[in-house]
Amino acid sequence: MSNFVPTPWLLPNGNNLWFSDSVPTLSSDVIGMNLQPGDYLWIVNTSSNMPFIYKLIAAPSTTYAGGQWQEVGASGNGIFTKSAAYTINGNTDAVVVVSSNCAITLPSAVSFPLKRVTVINGAATSTTVVPVSSQKIGNSHSTNATLGAADSAITLVSDGTQWWPVSSTGTVSYN
């Protein structure tokens, strides 16, 4: 359950800026609130104290009970370096730099629609990017992406079902 501050700030563009500790996902999270597409949500992640900003792109409905929110920026850097197998935290991680040969698992595309994640191979050996469960990467429905050389990178975006590569650099292959 989200803990919203009941009175938002009115922005110069006429939209509201709401404050909460998490993105609303249930209809009970938004009772009594007049959320409109274009409103913003400021969240401070309680485990990392990193503030995030989301924009409401679809009002609460039967499809999206708490509304559909898109992350538009993070006041913290969201950049993490990992040297062992790691599952990306969809709430805090934006960029993961890998310093050894290991697998990086993406968060659930279903749980984090419109989430953007970049994985950078900072090692001389390969790094594998793996979606969770039966989710896939891209139109070819690959089961993983391999960053085959140092400084190779891939940026992926979730469509709510699977992950889509929106950019890559260096040696990237799909399996």
In percent, how much of the chain has pLDDT > 70?
86
Residues 70-111 have pLDDT tens digits of 766 543 346 788 889 999 988 777 788 898 889 999 999 888
What are the residue ranges spanned by the domains of the chain?
9-74, 79-174
pLDDT over threshold 90, residue 128: yes
Distance of CA 140 to the CA centre of its chain: 22
| pLDDT greater than 70 at residue 18 | yes
**pLDDT value for 77:** 45
Question: Which listed CATH number (2.60.120, 1.10.10, 2.60.40, 1.10.3470) goes with 79-174?
Answer: 2.60.120
Give the mean model confidence (pLDDT) for residues 30-50. Answer: 72
pTM of this structure:
0.59
The pLDDT value recorded for residue 75 is 38
4 has a pLDDT exceeding 70: no
Model pLDDT, residue 2 = 60
